[in-house]
Every structure is written in C-alpha cells, then in structure tokens.
Amino acid sequence: MSFLKYQKNSPDFFNNYLKYKRFIEFYSNTTIDEVYFDLRTFFRYLKLKLYNTKLLENFDINDFKKVNIKDITIKDINNINRNMIIEFTYFLSEKLNNDTVTSNRKLASIKKLFEYLFSNNLIDNNPCINLETGRIEKRLPKYLTLKESKKLLSIAIKSKMKYKIRNYCITCLFLNCGLRLSELTKINLSDIKFDEHTLKIHGKGNKDRILYLDEACSEAISEYIKERPKLDKSYIDYNALFLSSRNKRISTRNVQTIIKDELKMAFNDTKNDIHTHSLRHTTASLMYNINNTDILILKRMLGHSSFSSTEIYTHVSSQKMKEIMNNCTISSILEKKKEELLNERK
C-alpha cells in the first residue's frame, strides 16, 4: 500500500480520506494507490498555483515531482473553485501529456475527494458539482487470436527461463480463466480444490467467485506445485500460490514483466500494445466469439458487477458481424459471382 508509505509526506485530511476508502469502503490496495498518486499530482499543482506560479509557468517535470504537499491545508482546499479544476485538466494535457482516459480518471478522484470533504462538513462548497469529463472515443479491447494464444503458451513452456513452469502456469491461467492481474497474484494454495477442479478468485470489492478449471489449467498448477518451494507456516506468504525468487508472494510488476518477456519472445516487437489485461480480453473475446458463450456466464466468470463491462465483448462480435455482412450477404455474393463470370469471359 503505497499511500501508507507516504503518510508522513501528506496532510492529515488526505491520509484520513485514503484510510476511509481502504478500510471503510473496502477498495483494493491497487485502487487506493492509484487514487493517492492522482490526488498527489493535483495537490502538487495546487501548491504551485497558490504559492509559486512562476515555477508553474516555467514548468519542469523534475521540479514538479519534488513539490512537497505536506503543508496543504483544508483552507487551501476550501479556496479551490471550478475554474481552477478546469485549468488543472488543461495542465494534465499540456504539461503532463495525459490522454483523455488518464485525465478523466484523475478528475474522478478529485470529485470523490470533494464529495467526501463536503459531506463531512470539512469544506463549505463543492466546486466539482456538474463538472463534466472529457469525451472518450470508445475503443475495442486489444486481444490475441486463438492461433496467437496457442503460440504464446507454446513459447512459455518451451522457454529456457529458470521459472518457466511457474511462468507457463501464470500464462495458462490468464488465457483460460480471464483473470485480472491483481486476482492472479492473490491466489492462495487453499483456494484450489483439485478434487472439484475449482479455483476461488478474490475479486474486486472483496467479492469472491468460483471458477472451474479445465484439464490444461489443473495440469499446469499441479506441475508448478511440484517444483514450488515448500514454505513453513512461519513464512508470511507460505499460502501464496505464485512465489517470487525470494519466496515472497509474486508482485504485479513481476507478473507484468513475465508476460511482457513472453510476448516479446513469441512476437518480437509486434505486440507492444498487448499486456496482462489484454490476456483477460483474449479469454472473453474468444469465448464469446468462437465458443458462443452466453453473456450471463461470461459476466459471472469475469466477475463483472454490471453488464456494461461485459457488453464490450458484444461490440467485438458486432465488428465481426460487420465484416461477415460486408462479404457474405446475398448482394455481396452476387457481386462476386458477377466478377467471376466477367473474368471467365476475358
């Protein structure tokens, strides 16, 4: 939890807010860390806006990262108006080169902070009311094809890397179970029921779900456990399924590096836009488009709280349908036949 490491460098009201989100609203460590970094950027900007506009005008990213936010007060927050927040969004775009998605996420973090402060009577007004976010062009998720997925698994198991059995197991679970990165690192040995072929997943919002393991996943886990170090219960991470080289629960950064290296071995530099979450998209897209998996089952398997998250895979299918209709409708078939006849007469 990064925000706990930086408590001494943050104002008390900020620390209290983050603890409230983590321990009262039960947001994940990853989410709270993102909120912390988003708001720290905002407070650094605020500090310069209020007390050092010269440094803001002659902006330097290295100087910006050194700005101390410890002395930001509730009085400073109370002086923030709507225009200052809008100016901050321009700052994100012009000075930090943030895209619309990143800027919107930071703006959402600011809105929730002000809601908390206002509802707890710590500020007099909420300048974020009716503040609109930037429009985002809806993009289809990046994912691997079935052939590419098979190639990635093949490369993982055939690699000469020291921990190839562990790494293959990680890749296999990503591609077969559609896990989030944080979910994979949280898996414990006690979550696996080999006799029932099930795996308990600890998802977002402390919501657990049960996944059924296919033969490939069961075998991959079994082979990895054979070579996984046997830790005494005195170890804090003795129950963690995936361990690092130091016998600690594997970190999200470590897993990201593993997948990145495997993708590079399999596809050179042609898949730089694919990452761990893309493998989750791969699972969902292939299940929906090739196996015709019911969207209700897909929603449950992915651990989505609403259909809006799952519906993106129906958009992938719609794209596929568009391609089919452009090439396989009656009119397109007749057009092809006409072209074939003309070619035969030539």
pLDDT in tens, 164-195: 999 999 999 999 999 999 999 999 999 999 99
Q: Is 338 a catalytic residue?
A: no
Is residue 304 part of the annotated active site? The answer reads: yes
Is 275 marked active-site? no
Task: Check if 27 is active-site.
Answer: no
- Kindly indicate the confidence band of residue 18, based on its pLDDT and cuts at 50, 70 and 90: very high
> What does the radius of gyration of the chain's CA atoms come to, in whole angstroms?
25
pLDDT tens digits, 96-155: 988 888 889 999 999 999 999 999 999 998 988 877 765 545 566 788 999 999 999 999
Q: pLDDT category, 71, cuts 50, 70, 90?
A: very high
The residue type at 283 = T
Mean pLDDT of 50-57: 85
Bigger pLDDT: 163 or 343? Answer: 163
Among 21, 40, 180, 271, which one carries the catalytic annotation? 180
CATH of 146-293, one of 2.40.160.20, 3.40.50.280, 1.10.443.10, 2.170.16.10: 1.10.443.10
* pLDDT tens-place string over residues 264-318: 999 998 888 899 999 999 998 888 877 777 778 888 888 888 777 777 766 655 5
pTM of the model: 0.61
Task: Examine the residue annotation and report whether 228 is marked as an active-site residue of this protein.
Answer: no
Candidates 150, 199, 140; CA nearest to 175 is: 150
- Where along the chain do its domains lie? 2-119, 146-293
Q: Which amino acid is at 325?
A: M
| Active-site residue (options: 49, 151, 204, 260) | 204
Sign of CA dihedral 189, 259, 108, 311: negative
Catalytic residue list contains 22 = no
Catalytic residue among 47, 186, 228, 280: 280
Catalytically annotated residue among 112, 277, 300, 320 = 277
The DSSP 8-state label assigned to residue 95 in this structure reads T
CB 43 within 8 A of CB 109: no
pLDDT tens for each residue of 257-266: 999 999 999 9
